[in-house]
Amino acid sequence: MEKKRQRLSKIVDILRSQDTMTVRELSERLEVSLMTVRRDLDELQAEGIVERSYGKAVLCRNAPHSLYENIENIYSLTWASGSMDEQKSRIAQYAASLIEPGEVIILDNGSTTDRIADHIPYGIDLTVACYNLNILVKLANRDKMNIIFAGGYFHPSDQMFESAENINFLGTIRAHKLFLSASGVHTALGMTCAHDFEVAVKQTVLKSALKKILVADSSKFGTVKTVYFEKMDVLDMIITDTGLSSEWAEIIRGKGIELVMV
Q: What is the mean pLDDT of residues 132-136?
A: 94
pLDDT at 1: 55
| Residue 121 DSSP code | P
Say which CATH class 2-74 falls into: mainly alpha
Q: How far apart are CA 38 and CA 34, in angstroms?
A: 6
pLDDT at 219: 93
Q: Pick the residue with more confidence: 48 or 188?
A: 188
Q: How far apart are CA 49 and CA 62, in angstroms?
A: 8
Q: Where in the chain is the domain with CATH 3.40.50.1360?
A: 83-261
pLDDT at 42: 84
Q: What is the mean pLDDT of residues 94-112?
A: 98
- Dihedrals phi, psi of 67, to nearest 5 degrees: -60, -50
Band of pLDDT at residue 92, cut at 50, 70 and 90: very high
Q: What is the pLDDT of residues 148-205, one digit of tens each?
A: 999 999 887 788 999 999 999 999 999 999 999 999 999 999 999 988 899 999 999 9
pLDDT at 157: 76
Mean pLDDT in the chain? Answer: 89
CATH of domain 83-261: 3.40.50.1360
Band of pLDDT at residue 54, cut at 50, 70 and 90: confident
Residue among 53, 55, 59, 56 at smallest CA distance from 12: 59
Residue type, position 41, single letter: L
User: Does residue 67 carry a pLDDT above 50?
Assistant: no
Q: What is the mean pLDDT of residues 69-74?
A: 51
**What share of the chain in percent tops pLDDT 70?**
90
Band of pLDDT at residue 64, cut at 50, 70 and 90: low
Q: Pick the residue with more confidence: 244 or 8?
A: 244
User: Does residue 61 carry a pLDDT above 70?
Assistant: no
- Dihedrals phi, psi of 231, to nearest 5 degrees: -75, 155
pLDDT at 5: 72
Q: How many CB atoms lie within 10 A of CB 143?
A: 8
pLDDT at 8: 83
Computed over its alpha carbons, how large is the radius of gyration of the chain?
19
CA 210 to chain centroid: 22
Band of pLDDT at residue 15, cut at 50, 70 and 90: confident
User: Does residue 231 carry a pLDDT above 70?
Assistant: yes
pLDDT at 66: 47
User: Does residue 22 carry a pLDDT above 50?
Assistant: yes
Q: How far apart are CA 102 and CA 144, in angstroms?
A: 10
Band of pLDDT at residue 135, cut at 50, 70 and 90: very high
pLDDT at 172: 98
| Contact by Cβ (8 Å): 176, 211 | yes
Q: Where in the chain is the domain with CATH 1.10.10.10?
A: 2-74
